[in-house]
Structure 1
Amino acid sequence: MEKDVKAAKNGFSMIVSAPMIKSILSRKMLVSLIMGFSCGVPLLLTISVLQAWMKREGVDLSVIGFFSLVGLPYTLKFLWAPIFDRFTLPFLGRRRGWLIVAQLLLMLSIIMLGFTNPGKAPWMVAFAAFLVTFFSASQDIVVDAYRREDLSDEELGLGSSMYIYGYRVGMLLASGGGLILADIIPFSVVYFLMAVSMIPGVITTIVTPEPPQVTGQPVNLYSAVIEPLKEYFSRKGAIMILLFILFYKIGDTMASAMTTPFYMDIGFTMTEIGTVVKLFGFWATLAGTFGGGILMLRMGINMSLWIFGILQAISTACFALLAMAGHSVPLLSCVIAFENISSGMGTAAYAAFMASMTDRRFTATQYALLSSLMGIPRVMASAPTGFFAKNMGWEGFFIVCTIAAVPGLVLLFFMQSAINR
């Protein structure tokens, strides 16, 4: 027994050493965590929380559906990202200056959204919600640029994991916490409290140091738009990298788009779905994200993409097994745990990879472009999933989703030199 315990301790120490613990608890990782939280809070305030408010106020479902368009800034943020690379405000530096402006305007727009009236003036609600998404997307741009410039290449994996960890917690506070509070207090107060929750991010922006300056920054707006594209497409394997970003998580994305109808179709109740899938799955995702960051410190981004990508594909195949088994809460729990852990790991490696592909002179523009590209499969690949599931059956559908993960791994094989540049 003692030998087993000693062996376990030795194995753990091989994975989590003293220098690694010091790295996890460093200023850079804490900043990544808090900034992730600040970026996660606003996202669902214009989606699930706002939808619940509008539904309570009796707004027509067709109008609620159109409100999804207020999220366009998240997809189009690369259009104004060059401004953040080109211009430096006269306070706090190139990154923190823009970040504090975006955060303060975001807080004001969230409060403004809380003072609107969905029942009487839905288009005023749409305007306020658009401001929230615009300033939220702007905050995302600058935070991504700051994280890339603040962290060394070796720290990107763990830093991206800490960011995603904070992001998920922020989303949980806004959606779960916001909806629970809305049963007790008015939505206007809920939105005010969500704006107040952004204060730690503002304080962090003020006290954290500005990343080191790099030479060769854009000297005019034209170069801020054109130079990042020229620099990127001059690289060997540039097109393959873009294709890889499009395809790496496409199977996982396709499967996720239809999981709720799938659970209901094979007999799970809403309570079982809410308890196992949403709550248990949330913590499993956080565990995978954090664990992925630690493993990336050991293995590097390249090897992590291979291992986590394969695990993602296997976890998708497990849904086909669940479809064959039918209603089984224990099996559902196992599948959800495995899927969320592997997905969290894959997302952490994915984000770290994209950051590593940016040039520090044009971080805001290039990362915004790559992350916008990352969102395309979420819309395009998810659209036909209902048709596939209906005509193939659930087992066939999840097998197809598993096969869809293969092109990303094939592309990864052919762009080794690009990843290790």
Structure 2
Amino acid sequence: MSKIEQFSWRETFSLILSKKVAVILLLGFSAGIPYFLIFSTLSLWLKEAGIERSTIAFLSWAALGYSFKFIWAPLVDQMRLPYLANWLGRRRSWLLFSQVWVILSIGFMALSDPGYSLWLTAGAAVSLGFAAATQDIVIDAYRIESADSYLQSILSSAYIAGYRGGMLLGGAGALLISDFLGGDSYSSISWSIAYLTMAFAMLAGVLTTLSINEPSADIGRETNSSSENLRLLLGFIVCAISFASSFVWLGPQLNSFKPELLEFFNNKALAGFLVETSRMFLSIACVFVVVKLVVRANVVPAYIVQRSYVDPITDFFERYGKGAMMILGLIALYRLSDIVMGVIANVFYADAGYSKQQIASLSKFYGLFATLAGGFLGGALSIRYGVYRTLLLGAILSALTNILFSYVAASEANSVLLAAAITADNLSGGLATAAFIAYLSSLTSVSFTAMQYAIFSSLMTLFPKLIAGYSGMMSLALGYEVFFYVTAALGIPAVVLVLILQRLIPITERNIE
């Protein structure tokens, strides 16, 4: 009998009150604060400052760091920060560094006024995006390395709860502060105070970092020297500049093809999606060319690239063999049903006759608490019955709850009915996410924790978000009732893959202490 199956319900729930859970809860809170500060909160600030909608959309690129954090995750795995690492250890030093970086970036945003210094605001937002993504990389690595495998599901639940709390503060909290101080008219000072308050709230993460211990996991692997890390950092900077330059340059070049695509597909949204997707992948291709040139010029020696980027991928395929591609398939498809439905959810609520106030209160208030409850329930079930069983339950429930929205679409506007659907959807989503994060954590090797988990978490949302770009077109063509049935059907491959992998590749237990 495995260690996971030996816990009673009493022992299972007692784990929720452990110190490690409290630590991850606070670190998750620290990670969640910046999220909306470069998304919806920033967008509203820019709108009030009179910035054009197209420019606001352009600044959403500040969050690209979240999608491509695996590119610099090897720095976190390989590099020991001078002085700080000797004082705090490798993981805690990166934690403190990223948290201070987040605070400074938020502070610079607070001291800027986009109405007069848009580029200062934009620069600080980009800096915040990279700082926040770096913090995410380190927290994920710390969480995985600081506890045994059987605890990862509960720690995942705590991380989700903390992250959601931080998101709520950075979103609704910042808006309430700005509204209270500035009222209906635009006030740069009210926004500055709101952002400075968020920077102050980040001290919860800093104090947590200073009070915890370095993970006791014995990494037992070779790391780069200081000079090798500097060359790796230089190579990363060159690649980042090449990506940004090619992305900006390709914009007007590819936009010239929009009229032809619009005429061919007769769909403006699809034409725009194809142009932007091509722009992204061409920019990535440019980076690969630059990497080859950088290696050939010996700016970054080939063995460093091998150790930092190739070895983590090779390690994964060597450990899981023929099942590796199936695991990657599950990672790419597990959240497909939820994400495709979620993109169109608010639009559906409005079209179904619900007011903005109803949407906000039901989706944010009930949705938040249902997600938190589902997260801790998913963690408890994973410990009590195993991660695979909970993964399977989460995949089935996530698909079935989408069918509830088909029933909502066929009914008259009824806030009780919508609340029930949203609560069930978020409860199942929280349960599935907690189990899934625990599963991803179990797949990593402690030799490449940050890099491998960053790849998994990026893959987890990349394919679903690409497919979600068609959700508007699908809902128009099919109608909401049929659309929600289709999104439920999108969850079937994940169910099948969980059933196969449960028998093919059992989760191995990794003891940290």
Q: TM-score, normalised by structure 2?
A: 0.77
- 1:4-39 deviation digits (Å, cap 9, x = unpaired): xxxxxxxxxx9740x334321111111110010000
Cα distance, 1:281–1:213 mapped onto 2, change above 3 Å: closer
Q: Alpha-carbon deviation of 1:378?
A: 4.3
Q: Which runs of 5+ in 2 are unaligned?
A: 1-6, 182-189, 225-303, 509-513
Secondary structure of the corresponding residue to residue 113 of structure 2:
coil
2:109 to 108, 113, 131: 113
The one-letter amino acid paired with 1:25 is: L
Partner of 1:420: 507
Amino acid of the structure 2 residue aligned with 1:281:
G
Correspondence for 2:461 among 358, 363, 375: 375
Does the 8 A contact of 2:344 with 2:472 survive in 1? Answer: yes
Look up the match of 1:60. Answer: 52
Q: Which moved more, 1:257-266 or 1:156-165?
A: 257-266
Specify the SS of the correspondent of 2:103. Answer: helix
Separation in 2, partners of 1:377, 1:66: 22
Task: Select the residue among 13, 21, 25 that pairs with 1:29.
Answer: 21
1:75–1:372 CA contact under 8 A, matched in 2 = yes
Residue 95 in structure 1 maps to residue 182 in structure 2: no
Match of 1:48 in 2: 40
- Does 1:166 find its partner at 2:169? no
1:255 paired residue number = 341
Does the 8 Å contact 1:116/1:125 carry over to 2? yes
**Once the two structures are superposed, what CA deviation does each residue of 1:348-392 show, in whole Å capped at 9, x if it has no partner?**
111111111100111010001111111213420210001100010
1:188 aligned partner: 192
Deviation at 1:419, TM superposition (A): 4.3
Deviations for 1:312-336, whole angstroms, at most 9, x for unmatched residues?
1110111111111231111111111
Corresponding residue number in structure 2 for 1:124 = 120
The answer to whether 1:210 aligns with 2:206 is no
Instruction: Work out whether residues 85 and 218 of structure 1, in 8 Å CA contact, stay in contact via their aligned partners in 2.
Output: no
- Give the drift of 1:91: 2.3
| Stretches of structure 1 lacking an aligned partner (at least 5 in a row) | 1-13
Q: Does 1:155 align with 2:151?
A: yes
Q: How does 1:15-414 map to 2 (within 5 A)?
A: 16-17=9-10, 19-88=11-80, 89-185=85-181, 186-220=190-224, 221-222=304-305, 223-234=307-318, 235-236=320-321, 237-414=323-500
**Using the alignment, how far apart are the partners of 1:408 and 1:22 within structure 2?**
31
CA contact under 8 A between 1:214 and 1:361: conserved in structure 2?
Answer: no
Between 177-186 and 372-381, report the one with greater CA deviation. 372-381
In 1: Cα distance, 2:141 partner to 2:106 partner? 23
Q: Structure 1 residue 60: deviation in Å?
A: 0.6
Q: Distance in 1 between matches of 2:442 and 2:380?
A: 17
CA contact (8 A) 1:81 1:141 kept: yes
Q: Deviations over 1:78-124 (max 9, x none)?
A: 11111111122322112101111111111111111111111122222
Q: CA RMSD in A?
A: 1.4
CA distance in 1, matches of 2:369, 2:329: 31
Deviation at 1:215, TM superposition (A): 4.1
Question: Higher mean Cα deviation, 240-249 or 214-223?
Answer: 214-223
**One-letter code of the match for 1:112?**
F
1:5 corresponding residue in structure 2: none
What is the CA distance between 1:56 and its match in structure 2?
0.8
CA–CA separation in structure 2 for the residues paired with 1:15 and 1:347: 23
1:85 touches 1:217 (CA, 8 Å); kept in 2? no
- SS of 1:212's equivalent in the other structure is coil
- Cα pair 1:86 1:217 within 8 Å, conserved: no
Asked if structure 1 preserves the Cα contact closer than 8 Å seen for 2:335 and 2:464, the reply is no
Secondary structure of 1:184 counterpart: helix
Whichever residue aligns with residue 313 of structure 1, its letter is: A
**1:193-225 C-alpha deviation (Å, 9 max, x unpaired):** 101111111111111111114243233344132
Residues 269-319 of structure 1: CA distance to partner in whole angstroms, max 9, x if unpaired? 112111212211111111111221122121111110011111111101111
**d(CA) in 2 for partners of 1:379 and 1:332?**
25
